[in-house]
Amino acid sequence: MTARLRPAAAVAAVLMAALLGACTSGVYAETQIPTATPSATTTTSSTTTAVPDCGDPRQSYDPVPSLTTAAANNAVAAIKNRGYLIAGVSADSLLLGSRNPVTNVIEGFDIDMVHAVAQAIFGDPNKVQLVVISSAQRTDVLEKTQVDIVVRNMTMSCDRWSKIAFSSEYYQSGLKILVKKGDKTTSLAGLAGKKVCAPTTTSSLTAVQKTPGVIPVGAATHTGCLVLFQNGEVDAIAGDDTVLAGLAKQDPYAFVPQIQPLTSEPYGIGVNKDQIDFVRYINRVVDTVKSDGRWKASYDKWFPVLGPAPAPPQSLYGRG
């Protein structure tokens, strides 16, 4: 059976996207920033630009000694005065950041990290305003200071370091592919001559563009890629293993081969590049979450499909 003969699955994905992308919440304030991303069926060219050298992109600034020092309080003073933390997140990345259609609450591993930062600042994890953004908007909303942080499965890269700053690594992901069940392909190279979807301005799309013979297709979100996949308009989806695990849960015909990740995708919390003191504060929060059991608890809740919880990624500091 081909993907084109599964209209019910495609309709289900559209309905799921609508549920996940709705704009109300009964638990915490939430807004949505409009986006002007390319059409979901736009084929992206394979042109590349020079990437600035930032050293090891996983390396962040040294954390503050504790969360109660004067330096720590100064780093979050403006946010405390406002009364809530503003975070850019996804609302349609199942397991990472998606709306629960029953409770209407956005939840997932990334959202747990947002709540950890709010807990450290206010002693209340729910003092947050979640701003729903696309993957293409992640650096832009930080450069324009429309949000305090972005926690949207964002890979730390030298190109992004030239625009924003990152916390220490809070999750180690890796690029994989999603194909139809029964497809024996186990690599991007094996998809030569086929259309492969990934969200625009992501490292996943960059990897697709660099693979000879593969036809890259951009979409605004991974959910957009899933709809194209279910309609038979693309043959596969490239993305982080965390994201693809969520997509596969939404489509019984989709399959993620159990292979070693094709790339290393370290996730960091994005911050405006001029707010280094705030980065250092967040780094102390991330280290605390890794050491006090909250990181493992969050992994066990959201990612059991990926296997037993590994050790949290080691924080790398010393950026000058």
What pLDDT score does 221 carry?
A: 87
Do 251 and 271 belong together in one domain? Answer: no
* CA gap 166, 58 in Å, rounded: 8
Do 237 and 97 belong together in one domain? Answer: no
Domains: count for the chain? 2
Do 205 and 229 belong together in one domain? Answer: yes
Establish if 301 belongs to a structural domain: yes
Do 139 and 73 belong together in one domain? Answer: yes
Establish if 42 belongs to a structural domain: no
Domain range for residue 216?
Answer: 3-19+174-255
pLDDT band at 29 (very low <50, low <70, confident <90, very high): low
Do 152 and 284 belong together in one domain? Answer: yes
Do 187 and 122 belong together in one domain? Answer: no
pLDDT band at 28 (very low <50, low <70, confident <90, very high): low
With a pLDDT cut of 90, the percent of the chain lying above it is 75
Do 272 and 303 belong together in one domain? Answer: yes
CATH number of the domain to which 247 belongs = 3.40.190.10
pLDDT band at 44 (very low <50, low <70, confident <90, very high): very low
What pLDDT score does 38 carry?
A: 40
* CA gap 18, 12 in Å, rounded: 10
Beta-strand pair 215-219/195-199: parallel
pLDDT band at 307 (very low <50, low <70, confident <90, very high): confident
Establish if 45 belongs to a structural domain: no
Question: 308 vs 21, which has greater pLDDT?
Answer: 308
Establish if 261 belongs to a structural domain: no
Establish if 84 belongs to a structural domain: yes
Averaged over 189-212, what is the pLDDT?
94
Residue with tokens 């309709």, as numbered in its chain: 11
Do 169 and 99 belong together in one domain? Answer: yes
Do 7 and 155 belong together in one domain? Answer: no
**Residue 16 pLDDT > 70:** no
Per-residue pLDDT tens over the stretch 97-119 = 999 999 999 999 999 999 999 99
Identify which of 75-79, 202-206, 220-224 has the greatest average pLDDT.
Answer: 75-79
Look at residues 67, 86, 28 and name the one whose alpha carbon lies nearest to residue 282: 67
